[in-house]
Amino acid sequence: MTPLTGDRAPRPIWSSQPYKSMYIVARVSSLLILVPFWFLFYLLPFQRPRRTWTLRECVMVLVIRWMMPLNAICGLSPMSTDKTYQIPDKELKETRGVWITPVDKVSKELVKGPAEDGKVRPVKIPGYIWPKRRDWDKYDGLVGLFFHGGGYMMGNATETFGELAIVRELHKTSDIKMFLSVDYRLCHEACHPGQLLDALSGYTYLIHDAKVDPSRIVFLGACAGGHLALMLARYLYDTKVLPMPVGIMLFSPMIDLVIDGEIERSQEKPRPNTDVDCLNTSFLANLRLIGHHPQDLLWSTLLSPNKAPPRAYADYPSTFISVGELEAWRRENEQLCDLMIRDGVDVTWDVQEDAVHDFWGFGDMVPTKRARDQVAKHAVEWIHGLLNKIERI
């Protein structure tokens, strides 16, 4: 395969003006016709992808799938935040803001190998601590380091973003009573390794500034945030610049950054469940992520964890992986799970019946409530088991 840099990657005509605006208007306005049609089509329960899905859920899955290409094709970044601005505490109800120091300001020795890049440097970014009124020095329990999802194109780390419902629920019901949510840079703000550097800065903040021992830290991530959690874990494992966390929790994580290109070149059959899931993926988004780097980088274990060689996950921490039964990324996650189990990792594999991609993060927009209740229950049980294991050591 001939290496192709992200900068030289072909761009669709819709990514530049005036065609960009035309495409957005056409895509959005077409919903005026499509939504009523979908409502009528799914009025009869036997027409629905699953009998457990409500009429509203059926339509919302299609709306999300219809709108998703706008981000990759047009370069949109909805619900992203200005990383030079931190929300004032008086505007936050559940959290408080903190500035995360660039990792190279703590120690240049922490930035090695794949994190070194002449064009992309560590920067100061915002983070948000749950709960609002608890200090690090007055807490000695498990700490969660959370990375939000959005395909590296959208979303943010604040309490107002839907996926933070995961943190909100686990803070209330699990043994993790403090979290740091990292507002890492998205593709339009920095290409790889910007996201890795920001995640590393967040981890370094917990260890260096908050004085949290890695044996108390759990990585958590949804969608692209799950991919980032795995990327950070791989970097730590390979470089040994800092100890690994005690656990990793992944919710509908993005795993394989190669397969979209193979599908577009007809070298791979379409993913399972693409006709029912809310996901609508694009290889262009992956090219935006790697930016000026060769396309071959996507094949690395750092960016495609399911491409790992034997023993790549030996001595990895306990890992919890949750996906929806009807998720397009389920196969890649199964591959990752098998690789980890092969290497002796303690993996909990959680598949929620009749659920689609990121069903916990999307909330009641997508099916099903039962799946959200069940994954919350299983996550709480897993965290409690992890804590018991730590206390026995």
Tell me, what amino acid is at 140? D
* Model pTM score: 0.95
DSSP 207: I
Mean pLDDT computed over 1-12: 46
pLDDT band at 267 (very low <50, low <70, confident <90, very high): low
Mean pLDDT computed over 101-107: 97
Q: What are phi and psi of 148, to 5 degrees?
A: -75, 165
pLDDT of residue 270: 80
**Triad 188, 167, 384: Cα angle to 5°:** 135
Look at residue 269 and tell me whether its pLDDT is greater than 90: no
**Triad 268, 269, 270: Cα angle to 5°:** 115
Bridging pattern class, strands 217-222 and 142-147: parallel
Bridging pattern class, strands 96-100 and 125-130: antiparallel
**Distance (Å, whole) CA 25 – CA 18:** 11
Look at residue 48 and tell me whether its pLDDT is greater than 60: yes
Cα dihedral 67, 72, 75, 78 in deg (nearest 10)? 50
Closest CA to 293 of 12, 4, 73, 11: 4
pLDDT band at 2 (very low <50, low <70, confident <90, very high): very low
Region class of 389: left (phi > 0), else alpha (psi between -120 and 50), else beta? alpha
| Residues 229, 251 contacting (CB under 8 angstroms) | no
**Distance (Å, whole) CA 323 – CA 20:** 33
Closest CA to 71 of 149, 144, 164, 158: 149
- Is the C-alpha dihedral spanning 363, 280, 294, 82 positive or negative? negative
Look at residue 1 and tell me whether its pLDDT is greater than 60: no
Where do the domains of the chain lie?
6-74, 89-392
**Distance (Å, whole) CA 228 – CA 366:** 24
- The pLDDT mean for the chain works out to 94
Looking at per-residue pLDDT, the higher value among 387 and 270 belongs to 387
Which numeric CATH code is attached to 89-392?
Answer: 3.40.50.1820
| Residues 224, 151 contacting (CB under 8 angstroms) | yes
pLDDT of residue 268: 66
The Cβ-side half-sphere exposure at 54, using a 13 Å CA radius, reads 10
Mean pLDDT computed over 152-181: 97
**Distance (Å, whole) CA 161 – CA 150:** 10
Look at residue 196 and tell me whether its pLDDT is greater than 60: yes
Indicate the angle between helix axes 31-41 and 19-29, nearest 10 degrees: 30
Look at residue 205 and tell me whether its pLDDT is greater than 90: yes
**Distance (Å, whole) CA 164 – CA 362:** 10
**Triad 362, 221, 349: Cα angle to 5°:** 90
| Residues 305, 333 contacting (CB under 8 angstroms) | no
Cα dihedral 240, 242, 244, 249 in deg (nearest 10)? -120
Mean pLDDT computed over 131-158: 96
Mean pLDDT computed over 180-191: 97
| Residues 237, 244 contacting (CB under 8 angstroms) | yes
Q: What are phi and psi of 124, to 5 degrees?
A: -75, 130
For the chain, how big is the Rg over CA atoms in Å?
20
**Tell me: the pLDDT tens digits for 59-79?**
999 999 999 999 988 888 999
DSSP 206: I
